[in-house]
Structure 1
């Protein structure tokens, strides 16, 4: 089983939702996010921050393979600027009820031999306090990272959250996803920590996850 993440332009959201539904994926999570194009590039083009939508779902191995091929063939996700999709191998699922919820309408029976694929890519996840994305991305680009995706979030359960009229106020955070070649992962994390992570008021945490397949980002997939 795999966690399939697709990030595309926000105006394409409905078309991508139809694509997944028509191909057997009925349980999806959607989140609004932004691209990480440099401000000087946006100013030169006269455009605002690139608005994105992230669609995520849990799918079986055979379905994941077919969906990724279809994203290139039908949705043309590999056209520069259209988006990116990648799969993260699942470690475990709590119980059969959770699996049934996550894979509604899918055939999850495993037949034959399960072949483990080599993970050639990594997903670097940065949890940064609001306003530090440019600093993080400048550091990451210096270590051969491409673009990234920003998800706006709030810290929950932080001991340092400031009380306000008896209520705890959660800090505003930005979760940054950076897909990279596995060989560049450590350098990217090191650069972020050295240039942006030396103070806790900038970057709260950085970690990585294994990614076995990527479509839509030619700078990674073209050899």
Structure 2
């Protein structure tokens, strides 16, 4: 389902997306009793200019009926930094207008499978305490290949690092340098403000 959502969003102006697996839990007591309560989910992560993203969300809601139970959820968050893609040139000169100061930020790095450890190593060198790796798949506009008339999406890894705001710049600089993210096709890094954090020490 995640790939269908990304494909539909691309038709509505979003430049691409990454799909990764998640896990939900059923509240059905019988399923819990039979140990069948884990539900596999697909999470589609997409980035777009605010107006395009809002219009895409409205259209996706109508198409996939998120208003019905068990049909999924959709939400948007502000992006405070984006590097490694030319398809989103509107982020090149971003300003943090109207964004309150936050103590932490979430750094997301999307790279080809096998490069996530290098991302974490680069982040730790610059003061990070580590990160979380999520296996995924996804494609931008020109990254889908075909085999026997079927679309093949390249495997990806997403690295999520939550860091103190003061450490974000050195961490992202280290990752961009080590992974050469400013060269086409090496990955994408973006930063999201985190309003509340629990479990960070």
Normalising by structure 1, we get a TM-score of 0.46
Task: Indicate if the aligned counterparts of 2:143 and 2:153 stay in contact, CA closer than 8 A.
Answer: no
The answer for the alignment partner of 1:166 in structure 2 is 149
Q: Point out where structure 1 has 5 or more consecutive residues left out of the alignment.
A: 1-9, 19-28, 33-53, 55-90, 104-115, 219-223
Please give the residue correspondences for 1:1-223 in structure 2 after superposition, counting only pairs within 5 Å.
94=58, 118-198=101-181, 200=184, 203-218=186-201
Q: Point out where structure 2 has 5 or more consecutive residues left out of the alignment.
A: 1-21, 29-38, 44-52, 75-98
Structure 1 pair 166–157 and aligned structure 2 pair: CA distance change class (3 A): farther
- Partners of 1:157 and 1:149 lie apart in 2 by 23
Q: Give the aligned CA root-mean-square deviation in angstroms.
A: 3.9
- Partners of 1:128 and 1:157 lie apart in 2 by 12
Normalising by structure 2, we get a TM-score of 0.50
Task: Indicate if the aligned counterparts of 1:118 and 1:212 stay in contact, CA closer than 8 A.
Answer: no
The answer for the alignment partner of 1:85 in structure 2 is none
Report the 3-state secondary structure (helix = DSSP H, G, I; strand = E; otherwise coil) of the residue aligned with 2:197.
strand
- Partners of 1:126 and 1:204 lie apart in 2 by 7
Report the 3-state secondary structure (helix = DSSP H, G, I; strand = E; otherwise coil) of the residue aligned with 1:207.
strand
